Structure 1
Amino acid sequence: MAGVFWNDGVWTTEEQKLTGPMDHAFWLGSTVFDGARSIKGMVPDLDLHCARVVRSAAAMQMRATLAAEEIEALCREGVRRMGPEAVLYIRPMFFARRGMVPVRPDPDSTTFTLAIYDAPMPGNAGFSAVLAPFRRPAPDMAPTDAKASCLYPNSGRAATWAFERGYDNAVVLDIEGNIAEFASANLMLVKDGVVYTPSVNGAFLNGITRQRVIGLLRGAGIEVREEKLAPERLDDADEIFSTGNYGKVQACTRYGARNLNAGPVAAEARRLYMAFCEQSRILPAAA
Structure 2
Amino acid sequence: MATGTNIRTYYNGTWHRGDIPVMCAADHGAWLGTTVFDGARYFEGIAPDLQAHCDRINRSAEALMITPTTDGADMADIVREGLKTYPADAAVYIRPMYWALEGDSLGVAPKPGATGFAICLEEIPMAAPGSATTMTTTRFRRPTLDCAVVNAKAGCLYPNNARMLAEARAKGFGNALVADALGNVAETATANVFIVKDGEFFTPIANGTFLAGLTRKRHISNLTAAG
Which residue pairs with 2:113 in the alignment?
Answer: 108
> Structure 2 CA distance, aligned partners of 1:208 and 1:136?
19
Which residue pairs with 1:42 in the alignment?
Answer: 46
Which residue pairs with 2:225 in the alignment?
Answer: 219
Report the Cα offset of residue 83 of structure 1.
2.2
Report the Cα offset of residue 207 of structure 1.
0.4
Secondary structure of 1:12's counterpart equals strand
- Residue by residue over 1:126-181, the C-alpha shift from the partner in whole angstroms, topping out at 9 and shown as x without a partner, is 11111111100011110011000000110010001111111111111001111010
> Structure 1 CA distance, aligned partners of 2:145 and 2:83?
35
Secondary structure of 1:105's counterpart equals coil
Secondary structure of 1:144's counterpart equals coil
Percent of paired sites with the same residue: 41
Which residue pairs with 1:204 in the alignment?
Answer: 210
Which residue pairs with 1:260 in the alignment?
Answer: none
Is contact 1:131–1:171 with CA below 8 Å preserved after alignment? yes
Structure showing greater radius of gyration is: 1
Is contact 1:37–1:89 with CA below 8 Å preserved after alignment? yes
Higher strand share: 1
Which residue pairs with 2:66 in the alignment?
Answer: 62
> Structure 1 CA distance, aligned partners of 2:138 and 2:101?
35
Secondary structure of 1:63's counterpart equals coil
> Structure 1 CA distance, aligned partners of 2:131 and 2:196?
18
Is contact 1:41–1:79 with CA below 8 Å preserved after alignment? no
Which residue pairs with 2:173 in the alignment?
Answer: 167
Which residue pairs with 1:23 in the alignment?
Answer: 27
Instruction: Give the stretch that moved more between structures: 167-176 or 10-19.
Output: 10-19
| Amino acid in the other structure paired with 2:38 | D
- Residue by residue over 1:202-247, the C-alpha shift from the partner in whole angstroms, topping out at 9 and shown as x without a partner, is 00011000010011001101xxxxxxxxxxxxxxxxxxxxxxxxxx
Is contact 1:21–1:27 with CA below 8 Å preserved after alignment? yes
Secondary structure of 2:135's counterpart equals strand
- Residue by residue over 1:89-139, the C-alpha shift from the partner in whole angstroms, topping out at 9 and shown as x without a partner, is 000001011111251111211111000111001212211111111100011
Secondary structure of 1:18's counterpart equals coil
Report the Cα offset of residue 82 of structure 1.
1.2
Matches within 5 A, 1:124-203: 124-203=130-209
Over aligned residue pairs, what C-alpha RMSD do you find? 1.0
- What runs of 5+ residues in structure 2 fail to find an aligned partner? none
Matches within 5 A, 1:85-124: 85-100=89-104, 101-123=106-128, 124=130
In the alignment of these two chains, the number of paired residues is: 221
> Structure 1 CA distance, aligned partners of 2:112 and 2:22?
17
| Amino acid in the other structure paired with 2:209 | A
| Amino acid in the other structure paired with 2:114 | S
Is contact 1:4–1:82 with CA below 8 Å preserved after alignment? no
Is contact 1:56–1:145 with CA below 8 Å preserved after alignment? yes
| Amino acid in the other structure paired with 1:67 | D
Report the Cα offset of residue 21 of structure 1.
2.2
- State whether structure 2 residue 76 is matched by structure 1 residue 72: yes
> Structure 2 CA distance, aligned partners of 1:122 and 1:200?
25
TM-score when normalising by structure 1: 0.75
TM-score when normalising by structure 2: 0.95
| Amino acid in the other structure paired with 2:61 | A
| Amino acid in the other structure paired with 1:71 | M
Which residue pairs with 2:6 in the alignment?
Answer: 2
| Amino acid in the other structure paired with 2:212 | N
Secondary structure of 1:126's counterpart equals coil
